[in-house]
């Protein structure tokens, strides 16, 4: 389509190396939308007559149908989806089609397609986060008082409630919903009319285009519109961070479904077996989610590295951005749905969780007890640390110490220490806002629901 | 401080491998603030008496002075800044100091320090972006009608205005200002009171703490507060993307200050010479900014990789996050100021810029001319492409073609084609919103100023 | 195939999320090879009778033909290429096929396929590097004495020979050839027989397998064989670094083919036009090569992040590794061939190159002149720097200074200074080993040819 | 030192932004070495007289002493270590010092320093890998027959020997030792004499320099020598991959030292406590090693991104490379030593390991049993899978099934099945080369020792 100035055909290897149709094909429905709106705008400035615009829109409808039906006749020589559609339009409509690219460049066209596409995906991601939020709330309600060991450094730290654990993910997700909303505002800007870099030389009505395509604003500077990819990278970054969050949940749940932890049974529908070992039921779904978080980190890196090295404005290097953006999307959107289903259908084992809570996790409470009796915390910490050391040495549990033994560590210990050394007491003591105490978590649940109602 | 339970000292190599004081020292002023507020909160629940709180606050003031004066006596054994301060407080205040850590963990303490620190840095970055925005506007006003070649693929594409070019960066920067504001809201949440992971077991008044430390809200879930780093990574991501933007400006300006382009003379104050070649004046400042964008991409990657692999809640791996966050900050904040000064003090060469504009950049206008005469654009493109090919072959310029020669390519060419083949005409034709036409850019400048007034 | 233990089918979304057939299909020919060798090994220990092995091999031949012809009937439920082949074999051969997986796991099977595949690709890459090396030598010979400006910091530094420039890439490439050879040795190890992780429980003759499959050694530890991916990552790393090298060449050549430099005309066959601007001829091939280097860096990052988080031995996260390894291969192998063709068919413009050499690049020679006259270099540097400053201020060229003017900077300047200020003299002075002097480069060329003969 | 041509001092912020002395200071001893050798080379071509070279060498000795003693007087204006040393030499030796930079550039100087430094570090790393290899062998010998569960997907898979597990790391380490040796050969090349980019213009005897500095070869092309960083990046890549390996060991051992696994007690000397929870003993050393692997991945990424965007030859962006290379080194070298000590001093718990082995891990053996009785493996897998499913449903262990029950799944089961369902039998069946059978591991140990003797 641009061969006028050239005296040699593209090298075949270069042609296959540089094609983008295999991946930018997914922009086709958006490119049709853009063509439709743009044709109307050209009509308004007289490039198309009334008869011609009718014809163009009819053929674009036809192309849309072909695309949806999978019958669109792609050609070997189609460099990209934009060229394929223009070529097809010209085949169908003749010279009329050859007017569609007036005052337009693929540079502003592709970013317009991308804005439309990403707005759609952004909203899908928001919806999936909302669904996951609801499921976390339901599950938290169901396990409001289920106790399990809380970990730091993968060492048992203090008892916590499963509901509290699940809500931790809820709150993180709300931040991501917010980030997506904010990113949406930045995506909601029309680049079309920016031409190759300098702005269209035809007096296209950009406000009209924006309204036709559902954009709130038009981009204020044509060079800005075709050069930078920061809003796409931002979007990919938010999705990548979401996948890091899902990876952390996966990490925990893979541990929990091990024989050693035994806190959780994953649904068969999200597990797989081994080709060799008949007993195996593997948490492949969660492992893949974890693995795809690694892939996303790499894709984000590629986007940053890509853009970093470039002078203004468009450079062909940027073609690669779609590969990475699309991969991130394909890695995260299904993952969100899969995690929601796994959260909804996994079976927790409250008995095993409770039994697993090592009573050493009450050591902080024992130190706090001494604080209540007047000992400065740092000294109380040392006293209880020594008691723990003795227990470890003698393979005793902390709750097995007699009052007499406690007293060898500090005379402040009295009979009431034993009332402190229970899971229930430990949890009750953490009813401040944001704490894992049952009342606090109940309040938190209400806040979470309120948050979703907004 | 936690040695009660241990029977062996830390290995010396491990101690040096794991120390964080060399870098978390910058959190010291924030840690003092946190200690001060926390002490007051402990006083409110009776851990400190009236006399004791007075003492503690006095000693914290003293510590603040020592830190600022550089006389704070750090110890070999200080694991981190929190331990150093608690140790010092206890040295000064005795048993009273040993109460400061009641109901608190380093896990909630360090994230609180970080929230305070990052809020400060976030605002500094916003300020620097605003200053750079102002300078870009000033420079754009000064070069409102300076013409230079616009490039795509580093090939001359169409003539543009330097003001338009400078404003492209202005608009990108406004998106980053917005993203920092949004990130600030997420940083503006108090984690303190979350304890190690389960929430403090003492009825600390978290609303009071928030108000003392200038936070708008308290975190709703203790596990969330100590486990996730998404808001820090988001911040580092915004800064990294800012550095990618600065890198692209640098890329252009390095090109422009080459002998071959000659569009720009950098100030001596931001250039360096060669140890060997006496004639050299190198754009090192811009090269370093470009290089540090690469470093930032790596640091962001490290943050994502770090968090990705972890189960809940705190794991020591996370200590590394500060190294990367701090490096990104140290790479971007000065860079913003340096770029502002370079923009303000560089000398553009409008003459060279204008002379450099290759007249082939008017080829699109020639094609548009044919469109005006009724030829479909795609055909017009081919016609002009052939004219270009002839010129290239015969080493002619496009404007040197006679009307007769033009007519060999298309009979539609008339005498008025020559009026189209001027830079001024080409620019005038791009006065739609966002275009590089002089009127359009004038409007854009007003919008930009309006944006800053908001 | 592993459903015995399961009571529920895989979720459909999970199934599509976790499939790998769309990409591990490329391993099919290697999987057939592996099956063939493994069947023979099973025959040797009596799992297959003489009649059965004949049957199995016949059907495997048939499968190979189906695969090559594109008629292999893939099934919806095929999890991966290994399952697809086993399923097909069993369809064709019945119960005999159901014996093929005896004592084997997909874990050792897939790494064996990968070792075979990567050995092949490794050799292709070596061949492509060798071809590129030859073309660089040819081009260097052709441009043995072509002068162009050498740059540091993109500022003209000193004159160099184009041949010297081209040979710089030659030598870098030899290091990569060597790295690939070394990596090949590490790939040349048979993992098969490692089972899922613990080694096969059947007395498979691994030495026989190695010999059948063309491996030099067998892996010494089954856990090592199925757990680690370091040799694959190493290979991807070498390719990624090769693409960084190609990116640097591209960076230069894109600059050189700009209007401002004008050193180089790229072949039309490796350039593309613009959909909007008829005059454009863009260096898209080189831009894509540069862009794909960024992609590769991201893929390498993903590989490191993937493996980093895993306990031993196989975890499903590792499925993602193939996506990244294959992408790197597909980005680098054609790029090597394309760069070779571009080097071979681009037109350099020796006249423009020579004219472009700014005479300030002789400033080092002027300083060296003073050194010859006895002035310490550091002082000579200052003297010439001052002369340069005057010239810049007065828009003079360094060679335009009169002897009188030179003498104002140092009395040591004599008439013979003018003999020093020529490109030829400057080049002649750099005939030490590795220098850009014509004799030195001639010697270098001989060394380069010698290197290839080895 | 290069200010002759400049009329303005560097901006203060730019000066602090661009300084490298804070990190390239570690090159000082190598820079002294280089200066010493270079001075001798200058003496050989008459730049220094006999008296002068004596003086220069004396002052360089003095500088070396100052550096070692920490009394070297660094100046505010010292741009980098090379400038600092030249400045100091000139202070001490006067005009003689001002000759040292004759025919040399910081470009060839810094890469020479780096080659020397990296050769040293490379050998340290090799030594540390060897020491770790020895410790792994010792520990493996000590636990030759200790049984533990082997995992895939973190699900128990098959019983393995601890010795086999430890040797898996041994073999991986040997690959890294080999890669370091190969990298060493590429580092063992002298760049000095390459000047800024074009080669020195003085007839320096590069072979003499190489011999003085202990290099085997001289670099064949000056542009190659100062432009590319592939060998440094390769080295950083090998170290990064080593840290990924250490991270995987850490991942396992952190799991193993959890309450739930209980396979391992880490030495107190490599553990830390909690500021809040007195019972805690955290595996911080292993967590940091894991975290630093993430950091290294980021540093490697930065190196690739840095170099990717650059034209030839030296650009200031490259200054950043040292920051990343040094960080990787500082992260990996101590980690290797720490891991060795942890391997040497951790306490394994063979009893708990053995008890932890779930008897379902013998399911593959049950399937193999049926294979021995003539059933095709794929059918045997289904049969045993069903038996497993029943056991899971009825909370039975696989070894608790009666013969009658076994027979309901397949009539092929006989009394001898019970002999197959023991850990010892399972291990015995895996005595093929590379398998976890006790005899095979014994052989492997011999091979490992043999490997170290080489």
Sign of CA dihedral B9, B67, B20, A380: positive
Whether the pLDDT of residue B293 is over 80: the answer is yes
pLDDT band (50, 70, 90) for residue D95? confident
Token couple for C57? 């091999």
Task: Give me the phi and psi of C66, to 5 degrees please.
Answer: -60, -45
Summarize pLDDT for D407-442 with one digit per residue, the tens. Answer: 999 999 999 999 999 999 999 999 999 999 999 999
pLDDT band (50, 70, 90) for residue D388? very high
* Contact check, Cβ <8 Å, A224/B168: yes
| Separation in Å, CA of C18 to nearest CA in chain A | 7
Summarize pLDDT for D178-213 with one digit per residue, the tens. Answer: 999 999 999 999 999 999 999 999 999 999 999 999
**What per-residue string of b and e applies to A239-268 under the rule 16 or more CB within 10 Å gives b?**
bbbbbbbbbbbbbbbbbbbbbbbbbbbbbb
d(CA B272, CA B262): 18
3-class DSSP state for residue B141?
A: helix
Q: How many CB pairs under 8 A join A and B?
A: 408
Average pLDDT of chain A is 96
Summarize pLDDT for D113-145 with one digit per residue, the tens. Answer: 999 999 999 999 999 999 999 999 999 999 999
The whole-number pLDDT of residue C260 equals 96
Token couple for C432? 């030490």
List A residues 247-266 in contact with C (Cβ-Cβ < 8 A): 251
B299 noted as active-site residue: no
Residue B169 to residues B100, B173, B175, D81: CA-CA distances in angstroms? 49, 6, 10, 36
Mean pLDDT of D266-284: 93
Interface residue B315 vs chain A (CB under 8 A): yes
Long-range contacts of A182-187 (CB under 8 A, 24+ apart): A182/B178, A182/B179, A182/B182, A183/A122, A183/A231, A183/A234, A183/A235, A183/A238, A184/A119, A184/A122, A184/A123, A184/A126, A185/A216, A186/A231, A186/A234, A186/B175, A186/B178, A187/A115, A187/A118, A187/A119, A187/A122, A187/A231, A187/A235
Q: Which of A441, A439, A181 is nearest to B220 (CA)?
A: A441
H helices of A222-318, in order, are 222-227, 230-256, 284-308
Chain D residues inside the 8 Å CB shell of C378 = 1, 86, 90, 97-99, 101
Interface residue D429 vs chain A (CB under 8 A): no
Helix-helix angle B284-308:D284-308, to 10 degrees: 140
d(CA A152, CA D273): 11
Q: Which is it for strands B347-348 and B264-265: parallel, antiparallel or unpaired?
A: antiparallel
**ipTM rounded to 2 decimals:** 0.95
Share of chain D above pLDDT 70, in %: 100
pLDDT band (50, 70, 90) for residue C77? confident
Summarize pLDDT for A80-136 with one digit per residue, the tens. Answer: 999 999 999 999 999 899 999 999 999 999 999 999 999 999 999 999 999 999 999
* Contact check, Cβ <8 Å, D224/C432: no
Neighbours of D, requiring at least 3 CB pairs below 8 Å, are A, B, C
Summarize pLDDT for A321-365 with one digit per residue, the tens. Answer: 999 999 999 999 999 999 999 999 999 999 999 999 988 999 999
* Contact check, Cβ <8 Å, A197/B297: no
pLDDT band (50, 70, 90) for residue D50? very high
Mutate: best of B264, B277, B409, partner C, most C CBs <10 A:
B277
The whole-number pLDDT of residue A151 equals 97
Phi-psi region of C383 (alpha: psi -120 to 50; beta: other; left: phi over 0): alpha
Whether the pLDDT of residue A214 is over 90: the answer is yes
The whole-number pLDDT of residue A425 equals 96
d(CA C183, CA C238): 9
Identify the closest residue of chain D to B338 by CA–CA distance: D14
Domains in chain A (CATH in brackets) are: 12-102 (1.10.275.10), 107-355 (1.20.200.10), 358-447 (1.10.40.30)
Interface residue D278 vs chain A (CB under 8 A): yes
Mutate: best of D311, D421, D446, partner C, most C CBs <10 A:
D311
Whether the pLDDT of residue B162 is over 80: the answer is yes
pLDDT band (50, 70, 90) for residue A4? confident
The whole-number pLDDT of residue D156 equals 96
- The neighbouring-strand residues paired with D218 are D190
> Residue B96 in contact with residue B157, Cβ under 8 Å?
no
Token couple for C426? 């400057």
* Contact check, Cβ <8 Å, A367/D153: no
C-alpha torsion D410→D415→D416→D421, nearest 10:
80
> Residue A168 in contact with residue B224, Cβ under 8 Å?
yes
Chain D residues inside the 8 Å CB shell of B284 = 18, 316
Identify the closest residue of chain B to A318 by CA–CA distance: B153
Token couple for C418? 């003018």
pLDDT band (50, 70, 90) for residue C244? very high
The whole-number pLDDT of residue D77 equals 82
d(CA A134, CA A140): 10
**Partner residue opposite C18 with nearest CB, options A107, A281, A284:** A284
d(CA B26, CA D92): 38
The whole-number pLDDT of residue D454 equals 84
List C residues 185-224 in contact with A (Cβ-Cβ < 8 A): 195-196
Mean pLDDT of C92-114: 94
Which 8-state DSSP code applies to residue B196?
Answer: T
Interface residue B433 vs chain D (CB under 8 A): no
Neighbours of A, requiring at least 3 CB pairs below 8 Å, are B, C, D
Interface residue C273 vs chain B (CB under 8 A): yes
Catalytic residue among A16, A153, A257, A327: A153
- The neighbouring-strand residues paired with A151 are A156
Mean pLDDT of B129-144: 98
Q: How many CB atoms lie within 10 A of CB B424?
A: 11
Residue given tokens 């730049």 in the structure block:
D47
Mean pLDDT of B401-415: 95
**Partner residue opposite A284 with nearest CB, options C1, C272, C316:** C316
Q: Which of B349, A369, B354 is nearest to D278 (CA)?
A: A369
Q: Which of B414, B197, C97 is nearest to D280 (CA)?
A: B197
Average pLDDT of chain B is 96
Mutate: best of D218, D391, D435, D447, partner C, most C CBs <10 A:
D435
Catalytic residue among B3, B22, B153, B275: B153
The whole-number pLDDT of residue D60 equals 97
Summarize pLDDT for C135-176 with one digit per residue, the tens. Answer: 999 999 999 999 999 999 999 999 999 999 999 999 999 999
Interface residue A22 vs chain C (CB under 8 A): no
The whole-number pLDDT of residue C8 equals 86
Q: Which of A250, A232, A225 is nearest to A302 (CA)?
A: A232
| Separation in Å, CA of B375 to nearest CA in chain D | 42
Interface residue A299 vs chain C (CB under 8 A): yes
Token couple for C340? 């070779």
The whole-number pLDDT of residue B403 equals 95
Residues 6+ apart with CB under 8 A from D419: D425
CA D376 to chain CA mean position, Å:
45
* Contact check, Cβ <8 Å, C254/B154: yes
């Amino acid at each position: 389509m641009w061969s006028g100035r050239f005296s040699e055909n593209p090298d075949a290897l270069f042609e296959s190396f540089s094609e983008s149709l295999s991946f930018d094909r997914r922009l086709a429905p958006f490119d049709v939308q853009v063509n439709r709106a743009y044709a109307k705008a050209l009509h308004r400035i007289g490039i198309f007559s009334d008869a011609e615009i009718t014809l163009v829109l009819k053929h674009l409808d036809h192309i849309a149908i072909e695309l949806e039906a999978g019958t669109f006749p792609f050609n070997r020589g189609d460099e990209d989806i934009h060229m394929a559609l223009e070529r097809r339009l010209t085949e169908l409509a003749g010279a009329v089609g050859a007017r569609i690219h007036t005052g337009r460049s693929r540079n502003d066209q592709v970013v317009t397609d991308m804005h439309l596409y990403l707005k759609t995906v952004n909203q899908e991601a928001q919806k999936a986060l909302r669904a996951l939020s609801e499921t976390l709330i339901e599950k938290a309600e169901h396990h409001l008082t289920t106790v399990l060991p809380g970990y730091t450094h993968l060492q048992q730290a203090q008892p916590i409630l499963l509901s509290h654990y699940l809500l931790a993910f809820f709150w993180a997700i709300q931040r991501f919903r917010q980030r997506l909303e904010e990113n949406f505002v930045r995506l909601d800007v029309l680049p079309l009319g920016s031409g190759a870099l300098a702005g269209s030389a035809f007096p296209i009505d950009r406000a009209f285009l924006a309204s036709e395509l559902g954009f709130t604003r038009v981009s204020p500077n044509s060079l800005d519109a075709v050069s930078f990819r920061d809003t796409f990278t931002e979007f990919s970054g938010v999705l990548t961070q979401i996948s890091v969050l899902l990876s952390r949940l996966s990490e925990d749940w893979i541990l929990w479904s091990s024989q050693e932890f035994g806190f959780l049974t994953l649904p068969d529908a999200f597990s797989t077996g081994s080709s060799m070992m008949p007993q195996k039921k593997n948490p492949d779904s969660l492992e893949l989610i974890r693995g795809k978080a690694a892939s996303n980190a790499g894709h984000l890196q590629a986007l940053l590295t890509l853009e970093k090295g470039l002078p203004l404005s468009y450079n062909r290097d940027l073609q690669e951005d779609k590969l990475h953006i699309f991969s991130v999307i394909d890695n995260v959107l299904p993952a969100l749905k899969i995690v929601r289903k796994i959260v909804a259908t996994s079976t927790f084992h409250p008995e095993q969780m409770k039994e697993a809570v090592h009573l050493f996790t009450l050591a902080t409470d024992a130190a706090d007890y001494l604080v209540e009796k007047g000992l400065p915390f740092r000294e109380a910490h040392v006293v209880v640390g020594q008691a723990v050391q003795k227990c470890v040495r003698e393979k005793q549990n902390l709750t097995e110490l007699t009052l007499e033994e406690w007293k060898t560590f500090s005379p402040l210990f009295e009979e009431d220490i034993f009332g402190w050394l229970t899971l229930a007491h430990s949890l009750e003591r953490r009813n401040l806002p944001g704490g894992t105490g049952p009342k606090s978590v109940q309040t938190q649940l209400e806040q979470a629901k309120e948050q979703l109602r907004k």
